[in-house]
Amino acid sequence: MNTKEYLINELHRYVKENGEIPRRNDIRYNKDYPSDNSYQKEFGSFTKALEISKLKLKINDNFFNPNNITLEGLYIVGLMIADGNIYNNVFSISLVDIETICEMHKVLNLDTNIQLFHGVKTSAKIVKTNRQWIKDLSLYGIIPDKHLKTFLPLKYCKTEQEIAALCLGLFDGDGSIVINKNKYASFEMAGSYDLCNQYSKILKNIGVTKEIKIEQKDCCIIRTARKKDIKIIYDFLYQNKSLSKLWISRKYNRWSKLLDKTFKSEDYYNEYR
């Protein structure tokens, strides 16, 4: 057996043992399989090796179709409304939360590499050209230069769970649990006037009573510091445990520590919003 045949067999072994087609990052740090550099050397690229082994990833062009969108899809839509970019039929999003980007990469079944950028904080970015995705995302208001035009596409949500998934994506993109040095906390959510008005109505519908809106020059901020309201919002946003691999863990952990009273002084200095 030559080297190429061995490497192709190892790809099929990965599929058999893990139940999914490997991506480059899946084997990069996995000592149980040949390194991605081995495939680069023998085939020219990892993607080419997948093609030769007939294991090419298949992209779901209808992933964002409103008629069959999943909770994962609605979470990503919310995150895209807050932090995503659309340009020339290209879908892209960049976060310092690399775990969330890696999980999105898997959920979307992307065949493109995750891009890493090293600065004060390392960030990760995914990019994909897909005309159908761009067309469907526009239905949710995700368009070029969307900043002041964003809204909550609630007409595509049929259940409370779906609304919660969408709102959690928005919170992970443009929301914060702000904790001062005395450990007093407040929930904050920023966005366009229309988006904040819709988000505010949802909070009132789930029982939040002490929420205020602060209008600024080009955006709006929703804020509440009432302990009971913060717990209500937490329970609402994190009700879909199936999204636990997608949601931003640093925000979830900070909020959880606050509620169970395990938040420590060093957490204030070590965490970032």
State the pairing for strand pair 90-95/115-117: unpaired
Beta strands across the sheet bearing 175-179: 175-179, 185-191, 220-224, 212-215
User: What SS3 string covers 207-249?
Assistant: CCCCCEEEECCCCEEEEECCHHHHHHHHHHHCCCHHHCCCCCH
Q: Which two tokens stand for residue 179?
A: 């904790």
pTM of the predicted model as reported, rounded to 2 decimal places: 0.82
Q: pLDDT class for 82, splitting at 50, 70, 90?
A: very high
Backbone angles phi, psi at 203, to 5 degrees: -60, -40
pLDDT at res. 205: 95
pLDDT score for 265: 56
pLDDT(71) > 50: yes
Q: What is the pLDDT of residue 111?
A: 75
Q: Is the pLDDT of residue 116 over 70?
A: yes
DSSP-derived pairing of the beta strands 175-179 and 185-191: antiparallel
Query: Is the pLDDT confidence value at 183 over 90?
Result: no
